[in-house]
Amino acid sequence: MKIIAATKNKNKLREFGEILKGFEIISQEEAGVDIDVEETGTTFEENSYLKAKAIYDITGITTIADDSGLCVDALNGEPGVYSARYGGGGYDDKGRVQLLLKNMKDVPDNERTARFVCVITLVGDEGIITARGECEGRIDYEPKGENGFGYDPVFFVEQYGKTMAEATPDEKNAISHRGKALKIFAEKLNKKEYN
């Protein structure tokens, strides 16, 4: 089964492919769709649906999209659905990490809890499938590690005793929000649990 992954993010595309083995995952680019869908929703569920639906409507090919982000308890769940645009859109990954560290500078150890959230939505001829995954961690005090992307260098994972950017891709996939959502998603897809 051919599925378009509605993302231009090469890291996400690689993670989709690594976990959804057995499906032919093609990128938005390979499908010839060059649009940026506006993420106007206020929840991960809404935004992932908007992205998948827009590309399915154009191509008629089953499409999956994810919406993900980092929810920090001490910041009332921010940056949340605005993780990619934290600080207003003028920063790159490193800049957003620095902004996060600045906003967390007075937050003590025991209040630095956070979670990555990922919601995957498929839209196709047979219906819609939605799956959510979460990964618990703590915001570290400085960036560490070179793997992954985004907030991985400051997301400390208790189980591994290191940041997500210090974890190997396999270690990350085993516990990550995207890994969990994709596994739940793959089970639902195999059982054809459409809504």
Binding site for ligand IMP (CB under 6 A): 39, 66-70, 83-84, 116, 148-152, 176, 178
Report, in Å, the least distance between residue 148 CB and ligand IMP: 5
What beta strand segments (E) does 28-164 contain?
63-72, 78-79, 113-124, 127-139, 155-157, 162-163
67 has catalytic annotation: yes
Helix axis angle for 10-19 and 177-190, nearest 10°, is: 50
Both tokens of 50, joined, read 């908007």
Both tokens of 143, joined, read 């960036």
Which residue's CB comes closest to ligand IMP?
A: 150
Residue among 123 and 193 whose Cβ is closer to ligand IMP: 123
Residue among 143 and 148 whose Cβ is closer to ligand IMP: 148
Report, in Å, the least distance between residue 149 CB and ligand IMP: 5
Of these residues, 36, 66, 67, 92, which one is catalytic?
67
Report, in Å, the least distance between residue 152 CB and ligand IMP: 4
How many helices and strands (H and E) does the chain possess? 5, 8
Residue among 68 and 121 whose Cβ is closer to ligand IMP: 68
**Separation of first and last alpha carbons in the chain:** 19
* Active site members: 67
